[in-house]
Structures are given as structure tokens and as C-alpha cells.
Amino acid sequence: MIELLLVRHGNTFAPGDRIVWVGSGQDLPLVESGRAQARAFAGTLEAADWRPTAALSGGLKRQAEHLQIATAGVPAPNTHPALDEVDYGSWGGRTTEEIVAEHGDAAVRAWNEQSQWPLDAGWPESLPEVRGRVDRFAAEVASGAHGGRVLVCSSNGLLRWFLGLVPGALEGAIEEGSFKVKTGHVGRMVWEESTGWRVASWNQPPTAPLS
């Protein structure tokens, strides 16, 4: 059995900040509340004696910082290109209101509520490309290349597609409105040779016990 913990980085906006869409083109650090979320998750890992065999993040500051705090640098965190956030193109760095004013409400709502890829938004990657890098990374983990307990820190735009590794899981989560991962929250997936991937838990707070 191989366990894969998927954590979304913590908060990048403080009270009063202008809230914008943050993709791979916006390299923001964590704010103090985000660091607190990472510290809380570190406490959860310690309480469960869950020691990762590998700690991997995308290359963005917020992802790497969250992972460093959560693991205290043990094992040494590494970056993996498959874990970079989705690039929101011209939507990145803009408020929802600004995006709606230019592109309309339908495309924004479809992404936020149904995880539908906006075809006319000019995002640099296609959905098959994003899902392809998730599939390749998952196969790498399932091969045992990173050991039996793999901790990943990435971002909401990418993490949802890990649900697609399990037949029907993404569709069910979309129907329930539960596919998004909140800042600092955690999902747990398990690989077994006989059954493949399954979702053990999803979008749990950083203080939720690991099960």
C-alpha cells in the first residue's frame, strides 16, 4: 500500500488584501495565517507519527514554504514540475469581478461550480495536458519511486484532478460541490496494486486526524 497526502498551501491573502486569482504566474508567499495552517498540519503529522518518505511540491513560493513548515525540512522537500498550479493566463492576478466583466459570468461559474475548463479563456495549458501530468505523477508514485508515504503540496486548480484517478470520484465530488480543496486543507489517497487508487478522505482541515 502507498499513501499519498495532498495538501493545498495555506493562505496567501491577509484581511483587507485585494483578492485575485492566483495561478502559476502569480508567485505569492504565504501570509501569517497560511503559515499557521502549515504549523497546524505539522502538528497533525506528528500526532499521527506520519513520517513521509518523500515531500514534494510545485515550484511556487507558497507551495514550497508550506511544505517546509509542515515537515520541518525532514525529509528535504523537493519540487516536481507535475505539481505546479494551473496557469490562469489573463485571468491570473485579476479579481473575479474583473474577469466576469471581460469574459462573462458563465465561464467563471462553470469553473468554480462544475470544474469545467474554460475553452476560450486562453489558459496556456489544455485540460488533457493538466490531467496528463497528474496521471504521470500518480503512476510515478504508484511505482514506489518515492516510497510508501508521499506528501504533496500543490494548489486548488491542480489538486481537484487527482480525484479523476478514481472512476466516478470527480463527478461525484462535482455533484456534491466538494471537489475544491480549501487553503491548508488535506486529501488522502491510497494505492493498492489489486484495486488501484481510492480516495480515503478529501478537503479535511489541517487539524483533522489522519485516518
- Give the range of the structural domain holding residue 86, as residue numbers without chain letter: 2-204
Residue 14's contacts (CB-CB under 8 Å, 6 or more residues apart) are 31, 32, 33
In a domain, 209, yes or no: no
Q: Model-level pTM?
A: 0.96
Residue-wise pLDDT for 170-186, tens only, equals: 999 999 999 999 999 99
Which residue type occupies 78?
A: N
Would the pLDDT of 120 be above 90? no
In a domain, 210, yes or no: no
CATH assignment of the domain containing 20: 3.40.50.1240
In a domain, 134, yes or no: yes
Closest CA to 60 of 24, 107, 91: 24
Domain count, the chain: 1
Residue-wise pLDDT for 39-84, tens only, equals: 999 999 999 999 999 999 999 999 999 999 999 999 999 999 999 9
Strands 149-154 and 54-57: parallel
Residue-wise pLDDT for 134-146, tens only, equals: 999 999 999 999 9
